Amino acid sequence: MQAGMYLGKVLDTAISHNPKGLQEPASILYMHEHLLQASGGSWSDPPSQVVWDRLHCAVRDLFIESRGGHAVWGFKDPRTVFTLQGWLDVLPDIRPVGIFRHPYEVAASLRKRNGFELEKGLSLWALYNRKLLKWRDRLGFPIIPFTADHALMKQKLAALMGQLGLEPADETDFFNPSLLSTCGETPPLPADVLEVLENLQSRAL
């Protein structure tokens, strides 16, 4: 957003597990979740197949129409890895970007926020990131790792914005490593989860 991408109104109110808010548009977050539920799942139990109906298409189309006055716009919602085909159907030139975090950090966050066992968190991480890999390999869009190293994070974000044709802001105060929580020492990752992580790392900017 600080580099010129229009995000519109997002959920930016601080919440207990996220002091800077979700930064997601409510209309898309709730539409995507309803879409997953209508397809027999949810964000925490993604369905094997997602079927868009007229309601979901209408919300999508209205959202796109509301962005008509902006040359560069976007939105963020992790559920998009399961719903992306419906966006590609009407926006074939869409330019996705991806970001991934270490599996244990995500699992620890889900345990703190949702009470999930670490094993469930790791399994969910793998489901989302296998989808991310599938789309990345099909469409060739850039992905970056999320890291607590401030200088490295700025470098990765600058590279990402360069690929999108955006001019990185000289200074950004949004990324704040002091807000990050880590999971400390962790056991080795399960082999299937480690394989996904290594594939992501091999494709990252």
For 115-133, how does the pLDDT look when each residue is reduced to its tens digit (9 = 90+)?
A: 999 999 999 999 999 999 9
8 A C-beta contact, residue 63 and residue 47: no
Identify the band that residue 114 occupies on the pLDDT scale cut at 50, 70 and 90. very high
Answer for the pair 203, 136: CB distance below 8 angstroms, yes or no: yes
Which amino acid makes up residue 9? K
pTM for the model? 0.89
Look at residue 184 in the predicted model and tell me its pLDDT: 64
Q: Specify whether 89 is located in the same domain as 103.
A: no
Which residues have C-beta within 8 Å of that of residue 165, sequence separation ≥ 6? none
What is the pLDDT of the chain when averaged over all its residues? 90
- Same domain for 146 and 184, yes or no, is yes
| Both tokens assigned to 193 | 């989860």
Are 103 and 56 members of one domain? no
pLDDT exceeds cutoff 70 at 109:
yes
Across 39-75, b (16+ Cβ under 10 Å) vs e yields bebebeebeeebebeeebeebbeebeeeeeeeeeebb
- Same domain for 102 and 199: yes
pLDDT given for residue 1 in this prediction: 83
Range of the domain at 74: 1-94
- Whole-angstrom distance, CA of residue 21 vs CA of residue 16: 9
What is the percent of the chain where pLDDT is above 70? 87
Domain match, 109 and 192 both = yes
Domain boundary among 50, 73, 94: 94
